[in-house]
Amino acid sequence: MSEDTAELEARLEEQDAFEPPAEFVEQANVSDDAIYEEFEEEWPECWERAADLLDWEEEYDEVLDASDPPFYEWFTGGSLNASANCLDRHLDERGDEAAIEWVGEPSDEENVTYTYEELHREVNEFAAALRDLGVGEDDVVTMYMPMIPELPIAMLACARIGAPHSVVFAGFSADALATRMESADSEYLVTANGYYRRGDALDHFEKTREGLGGVDHEVSDVVVVDRLGDDGHGYDLEDEEHYYAALVADHEGAAVEPVSRDAEDMLFLMYTSGTTGKPKGVKHTTGGYLSWVSWTSQAVLDVKPEDTYWCSADIGWITGHSYIVYGPLALGTTSVMYEGTPDHPERDRLWDIVDEYDVTQLYTAPTAIRAFMKWGSQYPEQHDLSSLRLLGTVGEPINPRAWKWYYKHIGDESCPIVDTWWQTETGGMMVTTLPGVSTMKPGSAGPPLPGVDARVVDTTGEEVDAGRAGYLTVNKPWPGMLRTLYKNDERFIDEYWAEYSDTDSDDMDDWVYFPEDGAKIDEDGYVTVLGRVDDVINVSGHRLGTMEIESSIVGVEGVAEAAVVGGSHDVKGEAVYAYVITEDGYDEDEEMRDRIVQGVEDAIGPIARPEQVIFTPELPKTRSGKIMRRLLEDIANEEELGNTSTLRNPDVVEDIQQKVGGD
């Protein structure tokens, strides 16, 4: 390290607050801190500013209808179409500009640019095809697709005809697909025959068919994108299976009038993990959600039409829905979409793409940044990254070291970083600095966005003092919020509201949303999110339910009982630790371990694969028989253990500790 670099590192190391670069502030979409006060004074009318970013067919009568909390309605009486907002309205001015720059993983394959004109055409053709298959308004269409352009095309085609989509992450298992299709009563599926991963052509169709086999109701049609061409397995399609390209060709030049949707009509469903084993179908609506993602894309990601903006998430998760597809396209910008992994063919792939496309904003996850850090700064240094104007992170807490590495080695100390806290349920960002306004503090997401009433409270709902740990709550509704859990209003109230609300009240002030995150707040009102306080863990920014993993392990032959916790991991953030008791007559051996790992992969997918399987004769339990998960977490983290005297079986602890330490 040269002396200069060493000095720089030392300075960065000590610095705990960073001002937004003047050059950025000068051009920022939002640069006046008066916005916080204005939004507070004008609440809820302040959210007209978000709705104003959209084209409405019918103007709304009321910004917020809070007559029946927590079933809030936003922009009531208004109607609009999401696909018209993401496509049609840009055609005059931006028809020839790129809407999507798609980069396939094989580096020798041609990338594909979809101009707004081209995207509009294909969305119309596919919308016409879906209609012909019988898809009607409000029919849920499931998508089980990798990162190929046909995924956003299918989403927008559904939005055009008023059919909500439910995208299932392609890395999830066949079982996971079946559960989600069944829960949504979905009779249509769009899928692909495969995708490329680290140079290999991976089959996706066998898994799709296996999943379909597990759906109890009849699935009328399956559309298959031929991603692999000659590398594919050459399946013969059944009657109800159709190739995407043939359908689109049959509808060449078709024009489908966008269906007028009520602001509160469902735009999509997204399944996510919760406390119990069953995934929850989070319902998002057309008016509120689209306003929210458009406004936050503009205010936080500083998106402008002439930008080339890149969010490296997968569209199978909420981040991709909100910030690859809907937010950026509603604003008429260019959204980059990459199929593969950051280390193929080399560890500089992301920087190569930033360089080639002159990417202006990069939005990624802390887990990726920690991997880049581990690989070393020589990879970004091989490329010109000077086109970057803003950096963002999402999905999990970012440690100050990773933040500073990102700031220096990717942003060249001239890009603000937005650390954005939000969830599948919130639809879009909730807590983050405004990049053209606020001081940044590495490790802390920042203050709640203007108009967002987020607080850190104790168990009674009272705000905690600065520096103390508590629970994050959101005390006022917001347009992007989930409206309910699909066909399960009761669970919606139980999971998100019951904890801090007076559930008998009709007064919105008595209703408080609980995201199930722990947090602390400092004297400037900056929130540091500490992580989930429920049975959800966050592996590489992917949200997984420990209960779901446990039930998949208990389903393995020879397993008597299992407890799953998250242990900290220097790249993934958290990793899955599974403590397993085997039944009599079964050996605690490699074969058993493999079957457990396979059981988890089959039920959920490889992302949930346990990092460690620890066999134990007993699990630490309280006298009332509850598993002491906190203790199992401490053991996974090799931390000093707290009081074990309340345990029914304290002796087991040392035993387990030795097994984890010894592995």
Residues of the shown chain interacting with ligand PRX in the complex, contacts defined by CB under 6 A: 272, 317-319, 394-397, 419-424, 445, 515, 517, 529, 531-532, 538, 543
Structure tokens given for 548: 């779901």
Smallest separation (angstroms) from ligand PRX to the CB of 318:
5
Q: Which is nearer to ligand PRX, 352 or 534 (CB)?
A: 534
- Please state, as a whole number, how many other Cβ atoms lie within 10 Å of the Cβ of residue 19: 10
Of 219 and 533, CB closest to ligand PRX: 533
**Smallest gap from residue 426 Cβ to ligand PRX (A):** 8
Nearer to ligand PRX, 538 or 616 (CB): 538
Q: Measured from the CB atom, is 233 or 630 closer to ligand PRX?
A: 630
Q: Residue 345 is encoded by which pair of tokens?
A: 């063919």
The Cα 591–Cα 332 span in angstroms is 53
Closest distance to ligand PRX from the beta carbon of 608 (Å): 13
Q: Enumerate the β-bridge partners of residue 420.
A: 394
Could you tell me where the DSSP H helices lie in 458-589?
489-496, 546-554
Angle between helices 174-183 and 205-213 (to 10 degrees): 50
Number of neighbours of residue 86 by Cβ within 10 angstroms: 30
Instruction: Note if the bond before 69 is cis, omega within 30 degrees.
Output: no
Q: How far is the CB of 519 from ligand PRX (least distance, A)?
A: 9
Compute the least distance from the CB of residue 397 to ligand PRX, in Å.
4
**Nearer residue to ligand PRX within complex by CB, 139 or 396:** 396
The residue among 281 and 397 lying less far from ligand PRX, judged by its C-beta, is 397
Using CA atoms, how far apart are residues 291 and 286, in angstroms rounded to an integer? 8
Q: What tokens were used for 82?
A: 């999401």
Closer CB to ligand PRX, 333 or 444, in the complex: 444
Cis peptide before 70 (omega within 30 of 0): yes
Q: Do residues 492 and 460 touch, judged by C-beta distance below 8 A?
A: no
Between β-strands 141-144 and 188-192, what pairing exists: parallel, antiparallel or unpaired? parallel
**545-556: string of b/e by CB count within 10 Å (b at 16+)?**
bbbbbbbbbeeb
Helical H segments across 438-519, by residue range:
489-496
Q: Which is nearer to ligand PRX, 149 or 566 (CB)?
A: 566
Q: For residue 656, give the nearest of 613, 622, 626, 604 by alpha carbon.
A: 613
Residue in 405, 377, 364, 347 with CA at minimum distance from that of residue 541:
364
Beta strands in 486-535 (DSSP E): 517-521, 527-532
Which residues touch 25 (CB under 8 Å, ≥6 apart)? 31, 436, 437
DSSP 230-242: GGS--PPP-TTEE
The two most distant CA atoms of the chain are separated, in Å, by 73
Name the minimum Å distance from CB 399 to ligand PRX.
Answer: 11
Query: For ligand PRX, which is the closer residue by CB, 342 or 397?
Result: 397
Crossing angle of the two packed helices 590-603 and 546-554, in degrees rounded to 10: 130
Q: For residues 473 and 616, which CB has a smaller minimum distance to ligand PRX in the complex?
A: 473
Q: Which is nearer to ligand PRX, 176 or 394 (CB)?
A: 394
- CB closer to ligand PRX out of 360 and 367: 367
Smallest distance from ligand PRX to CB 424, Å? 3
Contacts of 449 (CB under 8 A, 6+ apart): 296, 299, 300, 429, 430, 431, 432, 434
Q: Which residue has the tokens 């371990």?
A: 593
For residue 19, the 8-state DSSP code is P
Least distance in angstroms from the C-beta of 255 to ligand PRX: 35
Please identify, using beta-carbon distances, which residue of 60 and 403 lies nearer to ligand PRX. 403
Q: Which is nearer to ligand PRX, 81 or 433 (CB)?
A: 433
Q: Find the shortest distance in angstroms from Cβ 432 to ligand PRX.
A: 7
Minimum gap (Å) between residue 457 Cβ and ligand PRX: 16
Beta bridge partners of 418: 392
Of 241 and 425, CB closest to ligand PRX: 425
Which CB sits closer to ligand PRX, 38 or 534? Answer: 534
CB 237 within 8 A of CB 224: yes
Residue 488, C-beta contacts closer than 8 angstroms, at least 6 positions apart: 280, 281
Least separation in angstroms between CB 418 and ligand PRX? 9
How near is the Cβ of 297 to ligand PRX at its closest, in Å? 14
| Dist. CA 165–CA 550, nearest whole Å | 29
User: Minimum CB separation from ligand PRX for residue 443, in Å?
Assistant: 9
Comparison of 133 and 293: residue with beta carbon closer to ligand PRX: 293
d(CA 142, CA 291): 24
Nearest Cα residue to 163 out of 273, 256, 254, 53: 256
Strands in 390-394's sheet, in edge-to-edge order, are: 112-115, 98-103, 334-338, 308-311, 361-364, 390-394, 417-420
Taking alpha carbons only, the member of 61, 68, 69, 58 closest to residue 45 is: 61
CB of 504 to ligand PRX, least distance (A): 27
Closest approach, Cβ 52 to ligand PRX, in A, equals: 25
Residue type, 444: S
For the bound state, the minimum distance from the C-beta of residue 454 to ligand PRX, rounded and expressed in Å, comes to 12
CB of 66 to ligand PRX, least distance (A): 24
Helix, strand, or coil (residue 373): helix
CA dihedral 87, 91, 93, 98 (to 10 degrees): 60
